[in-house]
Amino acid sequence: MPDYRRYRIPGGSYFFTVTLLDRRGDLLTRHIDALRAAVRATRRRRPFHIDAWVVLPDHLHCIWTLPTGDADFSNRWKAIKIRFVQALPHDEPRSAVQAANGERGIWQRRFWEHAIRDEDDYARHLDYVHINPVKHGWAKTVREWPYSTFQHWVEAGVYQPDWAGGGEDDLPAGER
- Give the bridge partners for 52, in sequence order: 63
Active site (annotated) includes residue 4: no
Catalytic residue among 14, 128, 147, 159: 147
Nearest to 14 by CA among 97, 136, 126: 126
Q: How far is CA 59 from CA 9, 34, 103, in A?
A: 24, 15, 19
The CA distance from 161 to 141, in Å, is 10
Residues known to be catalytic: 147
